[in-house]
Amino acid sequence: MIKRIDATEKAVELIKVLKEKHGDLMFYQAGGCCEGTQPQCFEKGGYYQRTGDVCIGTVEDVEFWVDKDLFEYWKHAHFTLTVIDAFGVGGFSLETPLKKTFQIEYRIFTPEEEMNLEPVTRIE
């Protein structure tokens, strides 16, 4: 099965640091303006998903949730979670005090990959 999300080594290292400090985590990407333009990292349960939102997979056992409308737009794309040394557009994500920002890089799945994608989970 082809994963819908992966992470760079730098992103994995930051997730480990945040897990040590905050415990179980979750990611949410809204796809709207401002805060929604980048993935947000919260303590697990610190953000309430809406009906129809989609979990596209996990990174380091951390669920990565995507807004239902964003998923429909990007369902044919692979996400790679990265991190940069910069202050992002907002301040709600847990990496902000560390002067880091999570970002997503996208690429379109090949036709062969599309036929073998991991299933997603939706909020009913």
Q: Tell me, what's the pLDDT at 89?
A: 65
Residue labelled with tokens 């009906």: 51
Provide the residue-wise pLDDT of the chain in tens; the chain has 124 residues: 999 999 999 999 999 999 999 999 999 998 766 555 789 999 999 999 999 999 999 999 999 999 999 999 999 999 999 999 988 766 789 999 999 999 999 999 999 999 999 999 999 9
Supply 23's token pair. Answer: 């415990």
What is d(CA 91, CA 124) in angstroms, rounded to the nearest whole number? 29
Which phi and psi angles does 67 have, rounded to 5°?
A: -55, 140
Q: Tell me, what's the pLDDT at 38?
A: 87
Q: Tell me, what's the pLDDT at 92?
A: 85
Paired with 82 in beta bridges are 103
